[in-house]
Structure 1
Amino acid sequence: MTYYILKVAITAVLVVLISEISKRSSFIGAVLASVPLTSVLAMLWLYVDTGDVGKVSDLASSVFWLVLPSLALFVALPVLLAQGVNFYLALVVSIGITAICYWVMVIVLRYYGVEL
């Protein structure tokens, strides 16, 4: 149980740290947020938990294929905000658009024989 609390604490501290740094410098916050910290932490925790490099490799490969549709959020959100859409509505719509892009990507990848 202590191990899980440690994992949650480290992950949460990184997210809070990035949000606090972003208050002072959006550029530095963006640089830190754009580094795939979540993916790196997930791969680290997966390896520590399982010792299975195959699972880590599969996760890294899946993350690679899903980066492209995740970018839809970072296009849609600023466009919606610039059009005066309420922040929370713009965020929800952007997440919805991103979910659709994920779905389309998974279908396209399956068509070409790539299983995630």
Structure 2
Amino acid sequence: MNWLDLMAKGIFSGAVVVIASEVAKKTAVFGALITSIPIISVLSLTWLYEDTKDTAQVADFAESILWLILPSTLLFILLPYLLRQGWSFENSMLTGITATILAYGIGIFLASSYITSN
């Protein structure tokens, strides 16, 4: 893959993040809708397939994403709860990210165990 392809992918993917955050400034629900659509997963699966044409690798990647969706929800459960309890944004975010990282460790272990057993 050449640098131009990488730059194009990065610019396009980054634009999605900017659009979601700008829309969220106007309306949280529509910003959340854009963000909740698994656009990063869809883009990553598409880029992987376009680069490799390997459907088995894409299937493994998709299954791994599935195993890691649940741990990623911890951040979105903890962050609003902690903020509403009066925690600072920084401490709430740090706690949510830390819990998510720990849950990712468990998710990665489970995904690795499941994928290698199939």
Normalized against structure 2, the TM-score is what? 0.89
Aligned residues of 2:60 and 2:115 also touching (Cα < 8 A): no
After TM superposition, which residue ranges in structure 1, 4 or more long, deviate above 2 angstroms? 104-107
- Identical-residue share of aligned pairs (%): 36
Structure 1 unmatched ranges of 5 or more? none
Alignment-mate amino acid for residue 51 of structure 1: K
RMSD: 1.7
Structure 2 unmatched ranges of 5 or more? none
Sort the Cα spacing of 1:54 and 1:110 in 2 relative to 1 into closer, same or farther, 3 A: closer
Matched, 1:85 2:87: yes
Deviations 1:1-30 (A, max 9, x none): 111110000000000000001111111111
Deviations 1:25-82 (A, max 9, x none): 1111111110000100110111111111111111100111111111111111011111
Alignment-mate amino acid for residue 85 of structure 1: W
- The correspondence for 1:76, drawn from 65, 72, 78, is 78
User: Is the partner of 1:31 in helix, strand or coil?
Assistant: helix
Normalized against structure 1, the TM-score is what? 0.90
Matched, 1:94 2:101: no
